[in-house]
Structure 1
């Protein structure tokens, strides 16, 4: 008989086989399920999963097209395009950098690239130390990671990559082979591309042999293609380059300051865009419509095929208002005048425009920097100067608009004005004040009376009976604000509206004393740009209508057959900014005063315009100011700015001219390059004097003469 202990032991043993069998059964079920699942996947769903592996995706990507070109008023090309062979790379989705280095190495077998490393030259290297490190890391990722410590492996972002860079020695990158250096240059280009964007790997000096070799091996070079690229050319050299502006390179892409705006407009980060002047101002016109490619990628993200859906459309062309021949003559006039410089005077600025519609006929600026003449045409819109008496027309008209000047009170005695705590105000022609010279608004302009303008300013401030030597009972701040509001109507102190970015408005003096308001009235206080000066004289010549200066008059397409300038798409109309609210008779008297400046017996410009073949009107200006030293960051020597404004013909103006010659010595009053240059510009425009053209035979008359000769000859026979 078994004891209770034996019974418990037998019962325990009897459970072991059951549990073991249960475990085997469960394992059997699991293996059966796995086998059934594998069979299901390999037999029933095999085709479906095979298709998934081989699945491709199609994505539409855009490509660049030639920019529109820029022509002068006579359709001479100033900025064009040159077609070049190019080798491109379209980056697929989620392409690892290691895969790109392999592709770059393969491509390096077929093309040459500028690949001079930093350690081989002192300057001008094609590949920096960082470029070589980037390629080495991308090509040796496992090796680089093995060099990092556990702490470095925990880093992320910039810190992690910096640790990788630190692990690459100079000896390693200096051992790269010539082909690896070329591959590094290629990889640098590739790595600048974003997913499903296209970059130019090489678009300069691409040989036919390179194109042929790549075309034969495209299947082994995923994402690589050949095509045509366009680069900007300048048939007229540097003529107007500072005005037409620049285009960014593919490496630079979109400027950071305009990144969000341009990305929202459909640009890619590496697109080439206008970065300055006309190229930037008319970017939406010049850019064209991008091509569209349907890009096919495999499951790895490689681009395996591209199908063109739309070839794109070249940008539209801009027609400028400038005649390049006239522009060239004006630039030479500026250069010749600059040769007569004296003292600290190292620049000259000239603007010629049509007062009827605002067309810029010519625009130049020349400056001497480090002993060499450089172009500074943009100084006409972004540099300002004290202009002196050339703005006195605005002072007379401001007084008329303010109601303090009319035919009943326009005669004023020119005698020095002495204001307490302010320098005395004198007119040059009556500097000592010994002569009792009475003048009206017309003769005050003809002889350039500072006293007359100051008296008008005092009236505008409420002071009609000033006693010389006393204090002015005038609110200087209020008077200056009033004067500036009137001047603004002529374009002085405000933007002119020219179709260029970066225009400045000049500097308004910070003071508020009555004496400063008097000096303001004859151009010795606020500063203005040469372009503002040109708009001011144009407004007076145009009977008080202020029109924005413009450099572009038309937008035209491209003839698809000839490639030349095509049909007119948009004619840019003159932009009227305002009409000066002045009495017509008052304006005519200022115009007559400007006529007297040139044609009157005591006019300040009569000498230089005495024998013109056209009738002109104008105003000279002299401003005593200070020379601003950029190096010192302060004013230094006292200098004189000479200016001139004028227009012609007097009865029906076609051209208005503004000339500024800054920083001449105070002691030398013989330099009159402002007037000489203005006279030459007008002579060149009207083709008279030294610019007269020889008579060219009329082809029609020549043919008629030939026909008469033939008839006579036949009659003799």
Structure 2
């Protein structure tokens, strides 16, 4: 074969291959026909970014952030020196152990997500490490700028589960689904055919009624109380009684819980419940605040059973009996009212039903199965009935605001992504009237007595007239089914300031283990710290001279 003939054949073959390559390029990359697989445009559905959760003042509590995540290709790791080599390269950016990496590599999978993430702006630095067998991918994570602040309330937003506010407002926070057509270029990179703005598909922003600073105050006080008392848990609620807005809902607990304790923790309230018995008695005309009542020197037999007081008292006025927290006086007062009226009154104040707060997992509390005369007597001073912290705080707020039971509010407003469509700010929602003006005035005076000279003196806040009530309740021993002699719930609920209430603060200390367990010495001082700091932060004017409510007659 001559050289010229060989050259001609070679040129012809090359030309043929070039024609084939050009045609493949046209079909698969430049202009693939409809229906062609491979690099043909494909339509996918993508969800827009999730909205942000703010506090009442626009401070970010939860937000989404794009992160760069790492994943492992076990086969490439094996081909590039194995786990030992990988560990030496990755240890500078990961705390993962060598054994953990080996366990994951042993699966031989080509895609193994690693629990290693970096902010999107650090991609270049991570890529420069050039670690064989390790790839990068974009992830979106919920981040919490305030750390653990209000985490129980805010909840989580996982792939398979949501809790707290993330669940309650999931419909508003979730991004909208958008159809996007994408195709690949010759390098296999995915390219959208049309540009679209993420804000169009972004979920709405939710503004909670929580105030970040008051939440910090409450959580710090809860942590200090846990440390000082060795308690199993502490719950603190701060509410605006005028409109029902929750300003803080703090929980500290030795054993973590998936529940939101302020709305799901059911406990016997003890003496903090007495105010509602007195409310009904005043409304029914069954008592007068200056009438005398014999407290049986601390022991009273009723229906073949005994009721006791922690202090032996003889004859007291009705107001004194409340200030010194006499169970016997409260039981005697309840005997003047029919069982049906007491049961109805308890429900009217919101007990035995959900409060209406827009959070998941709220409990109704526990009402007695049978309202016999003895049970009714014990319920009158908070034994034999189960309530939640939010129910008790909200019921005290009804006394603070002039007798109106409101739905407690956790959401302030919801704002759409474009900033123009706004869900109207939630207003005050009245459930019912629970006490008239005359009754409210009498109840406020008695709450003031508790702080002035009764069991609540440790709740005093300098410069403010305070009203409130202590509570100490035995817990049920699960093993015996009887009341424990070792475990108690100490509580205090109060109003600031008494003459023009702006705050209702509830404190519950579960099973204090150091020192005593009385609500007067365990919970009342915590109330004083929270109420004093919150009032100062909110710049609530001090009580004017002479504003103190009427002293005992």
Report the TM range for the smaller structure's normalisation: 0.7 to 0.9
Q: How does 1:351-370 map to 2 (within 5 A)?
A: 351-369=237-255
Structure 2 counterpart of 1:341, from 226, 229, 238: 229
Structure 2 counterpart of 1:582, from 418, 427, 435: 435
Distance 2:143 2:291 in 1: 58
Q: What is the aligned-residue RMSD (CA, Å)?
A: 4.5
Q: Kindly indicate whether the alpha-carbon contact (under 8 Å) linking 2:175 and 2:203 is maintained by their aligned counterparts in 1.
A: yes
For structure 1, the residue ranges without an aligned partner over 5 or more in a row are 1-49, 89-102, 133-180, 190-199, 213-225, 256-274, 462-478, 560-565, 693-717
Distance 1:667 1:515 in 2: 32
Shift, 1:574, TM fit: 3.3
Q: Kindly indicate whether the alpha-carbon contact (under 8 Å) linking 2:458 and 2:525 is maintained by their aligned counterparts in 1.
A: no
Distance 2:35 2:386 in 1: 72
Secondary structure of 1:386's match? coil
Asked whether 1:287 is paired with 2:168, we answer: no
Asked whether 1:658 is paired with 2:506, we answer: yes
- What's the counterpart of residue 396 of structure 1? 278
- What's the counterpart of residue 14 of structure 1? none
Secondary structure of 2:304's match? coil
Secondary structure of 1:235's match? coil
- What's the counterpart of residue 385 of structure 1? 267
- What's the counterpart of residue 527 of structure 1? 386
- Cα 1:534/1:108, change in 2 over 3 Å: farther
Distance 2:74 2:36 in 1: 25
**Normalized per residue, which structure has more helix?**
1
Asked whether 1:323 is paired with 2:171, we answer: no
1:271-327, Cα deviation, whole Å (9 max, x unpaired): xxxx00011111111112233202579xxxx99875247444222222222222222
Count of matched residue pairs:
484
- What's the counterpart of residue 83 of structure 1? 66
Q: Kindly indicate whether the alpha-carbon contact (under 8 Å) linking 1:277 and 1:501 is maintained by their aligned counterparts in 2.
A: yes
Distance 1:541 1:53 in 2: 71
Shift, 1:387, TM fit: 1.2
Shift, 1:541, TM fit: 0.6
Q: Kindly indicate whether the alpha-carbon contact (under 8 Å) linking 1:385 and 1:662 is maintained by their aligned counterparts in 2.
A: no
Structure 1 counterpart of 2:534, from 661, 685, 694: 685
Secondary structure of 1:358's match? coil
Q: How does 1:230-629 map to 2 (within 5 A)?
A: 230-248=140-158, 253-255=159-161, 275-295=162-182, 306-308=192-194, 310-312=196-198, 313-341=201-229, 345-369=231-255, 378-400=260-282, 403=284, 405=286, 412-415=293-296, 416-423=299-306, 425-431=307-313, 435-437=314-316, 439-440=317-318, 442-461=319-338, 479=339, 482-557=341-416, 569-599=422-452, 602-609=453-460, 612-628=462-478
TM-score (norm 2): 0.74
Q: Kindly indicate whether the alpha-carbon contact (under 8 Å) linking 2:459 and 2:527 is maintained by their aligned counterparts in 1.
A: no
- Cα 1:377/1:659, change in 2 over 3 Å: farther
Distance 1:354 1:605 in 2: 21
Shift, 1:83, TM fit: 2.4
Q: Kindly indicate whether the alpha-carbon contact (under 8 Å) linking 2:66 and 2:139 is maintained by their aligned counterparts in 1.
A: yes
Distance 2:458 2:55 in 1: 34
Which is greater in Rg? 1
Distance 2:378 2:464 in 1: 34
- Cα 1:308/1:276, change in 2 over 3 Å: farther
Secondary structure of 1:534's match? helix
Distance 2:169 2:127 in 1: 35
Shift, 1:427, TM fit: 3.8
Distance 1:514 1:542 in 2: 32
